[in-house]
Amino acid sequence: DYDVAFEGGRYREITELNATLSYAAQELKKVDSLQKELISNISHDLRTPLTMITGYSEVMRDLPGEMTPENIQIIIDEANRLNSLVTDLLDISRLQSGTADIKQTPFSLTNCIKSIFSRYTKLIESDGLNIIFEHDGEVFIMGDELRMTQVLYNLINNAINYIGDDKTVIVRQTVKDDRVRVDVIDHGEGIPKDKLDYIWDRYYRVDKEHRRAKVGTGLGLSIVKNILLAHDADFGVASKVGEGSDFYFILPVIPTDDE
Ligand code: ADP
């Protein structure tokens, strides 16, 4: 009796182990195929501008009449695109491996937002962009000002890229219980519910068919996520298709003297 029970137990153990192993193998396969997809995406996006640069250079070498400022500008634009792509990729790998240098110094989050707004003066004038900063006073936080500027810049840029007919982006800074919350809100196309979990992933773009229709690398939110994680921030997004998106993060404020 004892022997049989023992064998039975062992058999069960082995079956369970077997199931665990095959599950692990499946997961590894998934990671492997994601990695392959990632590499193929990166290669594609690196190759596209390179092809343009080579193509235009060859045309201008062979046909001097084609050496126009417009054609040269295309080469410069594509080289810049290549440059920001490589910078983004390096950034993400540094942030993910924890080798990025994240400073912890006090700075004015409010001024940081205001200075980003000044970059859009031209768009406001030429495109009728309406970009609003709502806040009730200056707030200081602890962190890396350059990195947080990058976060805000990426979120605001996305809001502008996916802007609605009202051409309006709202940045709202609210303080509650020693924490500051920043919302970046647009009334644009929104993001489908089943895609919300993926948009923070490196290289993920909702509209794959139009990968190059809108400027963007699919890396912006991954950088945002990694920087916010390094700051221990709470963050997220609320979005509804056809209504727009609200990307937010929450961080502790540095109490001011008069509090
Ligand atoms: P990129 O904007 O370069 O494509 P991101 O990582 O910044 O890459 O964003 C990933 C994807 O998330 C975008 O391609 C887009 O599909 C979606 N997304 C991001 N921000 C918004 C937004 N404000 N409104 C609608 N979709 C958005």
**Comparing C-alpha atoms, which of 203, 207, 197, 195 is closest to residue 93?**
203
The angle subtended at Cα 226 by Cα 196 and Cα 249, nearest 5°, is 65
Any ligand 1 atom below 6 A from CB of 159: yes
pLDDT at position 5 is 55
pLDDT value at residue 32:
80
61 Cα to the center of ligand 1, angstroms: 38
Ligand 1 atom nearest to CA at 219? 6
Range list of H helices, the chain: 2-62, 69-97, 109-117, 121-127, 145-161, 220-230
Per-residue confidence (pLDDT) for residue 46, from 0 to 100: 84
Instruction: Give the β-pairing of 234-240 and 179-186.
Output: unpaired
Q: What is the pTM of this model?
A: 0.76
Rounded distance between C-alpha atoms, residue 149 and residue 114, angstroms: 10
Q: 174: which DSSP letter?
A: E
Structure tokens at 187: 């009334």
Instruction: Confirm or reject: Cβ of 243 under 6 Å from ligand 1.
Output: no
- Burial classification of residue 106, based on how many CB atoms lie within 10 Å of its CB (0-12 exposed, 13-18 middle, 19 or more buried): exposed
Closest atom, ligand 1, to C-alpha of 223? 6
Cα maximum dimension of the chain: 95
Instruction: Please tell me the distance between residue 211's alpha carbon and the centre of ligand 1 in angstroms.
Output: 11
Tokens in use for 79?
Answer: 């080289």
- pLDDT of the residue at 208: 62
Q: Whose CA is closest to atom 13 on ligand 1?
A: 205
Provide the 8-state DSSP code for 40. H
Please say whether the beta carbons of 110 and 173 come within 8 A. yes
- Give the model's pLDDT for residue 36: 76
- pLDDT on residue 4: 55
pLDDT reported for residue 128:
86
- Quick one: pLDDT at residue 8? 67
Nearest Cα residue to atom 16 of ligand 1 = 206
Query: For each of the chain's 259 residues, which pLDDT tens digit applies?
Result: 555 555 667 788 888 888 899 998 988 888 787 777 777 777 777 888 899 999 999 999 999 999 999 999 999 988 988 888 888 888 888 887 877 888 899 999 999 999 998 888 877 888 888 999 999 999 999 999 999 999 999 999 999 999 999 999 999 999 999 999 999 999 999 999 999 999 998 777 777 655 444 556 778 899 999 999 999 999 999 999 999 999 999 999 998 765 4
Q: For the CA atoms of the chain, what is the radius of gyration?
A: 24
- Residue owning tokens 């500051």: 180
Lookup: tokens for 203: 């290289």
Which of 221, 237, 239, 246 to mutate for ligand 1's pocket (most ligand atoms within 8 Å of CB)?
221
**Residue at token pair 């990058």:** 150
CB 243: neighbour CB atoms within 10 A?
Answer: 14
Find out whether the beta carbon of 107 lies less than 6 Å from any atom of ligand 1: no
| Ligand 1 contacts CB of residue 92 (under 6 A) | no
